């Protein structure tokens, strides 16, 4: 039972007490005969029954309400007070005019009960039983998921702890093994010291000799440069003829007939320009790159004339053997034609006329000379 139902019962009880008191003091001047009138007894009995039905209906309506406010309670009390006043007025009217008791009884019927005004609730805001159950199921599923995640994190944490402990144990064992094996390492630092000393002494002597030879060569080169500077041109040529220098440039060899050409390349052909000397030349770059290889080793000059071509017998081979054997003169060129226009043009070209004559000076130059 709600708070509203309790308040309603208290209000009805107070009203009944007030009615009883008023009934005892209001009609004291009336006679006993009037109080014993059967019509009045029936009317009073009917009113009592109607009041009980109104109270029962009122309790059912108020028990069905979910939310009750102070304004509704005040309105309910205000509605009950006029009913009491109407009852008192009706009793007075019945004493004066007993014929109107039927209309008074109809006003107290349950059909005149005040109903609550319906309030429209949008569909999106309606809280149905199915929606409530769905929300509860979703909330329960989320709670279960959170519990499973917590359990998984606990398991992962345990695994990480176990792995870290295992790694620490393995590192400790490895350190113990390394400390135990340090004494087992065999070093030959103290073995054959005399022999190692002799090998070092040989290396040191060779290094000193290299440095001395390099220094002497540098001094000889300086003396030679100074001597050449003091010589005349004829003496220098005579000295160079008697003391030829070895040159890295080798004379070109004659190539075979139809030999293929290979370029020696442009990289690693000069001395290194860095201190480490990591990108300098090498002896392999000084080899003869023009030497014949593969089919070029064969003498193709003894082959028939028709076979003295590149890629003989293959589709797409070149038309010409080489340009030395072919006449590439273009007779349609105006420079090769000997027509009057060409002859006139040749006369204007320098060196094409007779002997070179003294150029004729201008008039200004002649005036200046005189």
- Fill in the DSSP letter of residue 256: P
Q: What percent of the chain has pLDDT over 90?
A: 16
Q: Shortest CA distance to 2 belongs to which of 76, 53, 54, 84?
A: 76
Angstrom distance (rounded) from CA 73 to CA 3:
10
The predicted pLDDT at position 357 comes to 64
Residue 153 lies in a domain: no
Angstrom distance (rounded) from CA 256 to CA 258:
6
Is 8 exposed, middle or buried, given 0-12, 13-18 or 19+ CB atoms closer than 10 A?
buried
Q: Residues 241-297: pLDDT tens digits?
A: 888 877 666 777 888 888 888 887 777 777 766 666 666 677 777 778 888 888 888
Residue 107 lies in a domain: yes
**How many residues comprise the chain?**
370
The predicted pLDDT at position 104 comes to 46
Torsion of CA 298, 303, 305, 311, to 10 degrees: -50
- Quickly state the pLDDT bin for 25 (edges 50, 70, 90): very low
The predicted pLDDT at position 34 comes to 47
The predicted pLDDT at position 215 comes to 95
Angstrom distance (rounded) from CA 300 to CA 281:
35
8 Å CB contact between 310 and 322 = no
In degrees and rounded to multiples of 5, residue 323 shows phi and psi of -75, -15
Tokens for 249?
A: 């440039």
Number of other CB atoms surrounding residue 55 within 10 Å: 15
Angstrom distance (rounded) from CA 261 to CA 290:
7
Please tell me the total count of domains within the chain: 2
Residue 233 lies in a domain: no
Residue 88 lies in a domain: yes
Q: Residues 90-102: pLDDT tens digits?
A: 666 656 555 444 4
Residue 138 lies in a domain: no
Q: What is the extent of the structural domain holding 20?
A: 3-119
One DSSP character per residue, 155-211 reads HHHHHHHHHHHHHHHHHHHHHHHHHHHGGG----TTSSHHHHHHHHHHHHHHHHHHH
Residue 291 lies in a domain: yes
The predicted pLDDT at position 81 comes to 62
Residue 74 lies in a domain: yes
8 Å CB contact between 309 and 318 = yes
Residue 46 lies in a domain: yes
Q: Name the range with the highest mean pLDDT among 41-45, 191-195, 291-295.
A: 291-295
Helices (H) and strands (E) in the chain, counts: 10, 0
Q: Chain-wide mean pLDDT for the chain?
A: 74
């Amino acid at each position: 039972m709600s708070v509203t139902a309790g308040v309603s019962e208290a209000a009805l009880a107070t009203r009944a007490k007030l009615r009883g008191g008023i009934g005892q003091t209001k009609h004291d001047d009336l006679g006993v005969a009037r109080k014993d009138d059967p019509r009045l007894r029936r009317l009073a009995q009917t009113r009592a029954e109607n009041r009980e039905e109104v109270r029962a209906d009122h309790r059912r309506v108020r028990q069905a309400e979910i939310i009750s406010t102070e304004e509704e309670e005040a309105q309910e009390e205000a509605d009950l007070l006029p009913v009491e006043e109407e009852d008192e007025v009706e009793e007075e009217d019945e004493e004066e005019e007993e014929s109107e008791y039927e209309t008074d009884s109809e006003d107290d019927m349950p059909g005149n009960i005040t109903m609550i005004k319906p309030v429209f609730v949008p569909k999106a805001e309606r809280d149905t039983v199915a929606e409530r159950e769905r929300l509860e199921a979703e909330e329960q599923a989320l709670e279960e998921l959170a519990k499973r995640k917590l359990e998984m994190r606990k398991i992962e944490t345990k695994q990480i702890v176990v792995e870290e402990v295992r790694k620490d144990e393995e590192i400790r064992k490895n350190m113990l093994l390394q400390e135990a094996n340090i004494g087992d390492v065999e070093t030959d630092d103290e073995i054959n010291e005399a022999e190692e000393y002799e090998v070092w002494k040989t290396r040191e002597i060779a290094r000193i000799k290299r440095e001395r030879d390099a220094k002497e060569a540098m001094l000889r080169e300086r003396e030679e440069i100074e001597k050449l500077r003091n010589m005349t041109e004829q003496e220098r040529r005579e000295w160079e003829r008697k003391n030829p220098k070895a040159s890295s440039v080798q004379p070109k060899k004659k190539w075979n007939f139809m030999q293929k050409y290979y370029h020696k390349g442009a990289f690693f052909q000069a001395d290194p320009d860095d201190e480490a000397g990591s990108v300098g030349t090498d002896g392999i770059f000084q080899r003869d790159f023009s030497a014949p290889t593969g089919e070029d080793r064969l003498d193709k000059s003894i082959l028939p004339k028709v076979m003295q071509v590149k890629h003989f017998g293959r589709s797409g081979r070149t038309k010409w053997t080489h340009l030395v054997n072919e006449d590439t003169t273009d007779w349609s060129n105006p420079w090769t034609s000997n027509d009057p226009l060409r002859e006139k043009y040749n006369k204007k070209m320098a060196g094409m006329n007779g002997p070179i004559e003294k150029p004729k000076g201008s008039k200004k130059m002649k005036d200046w000379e005189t």
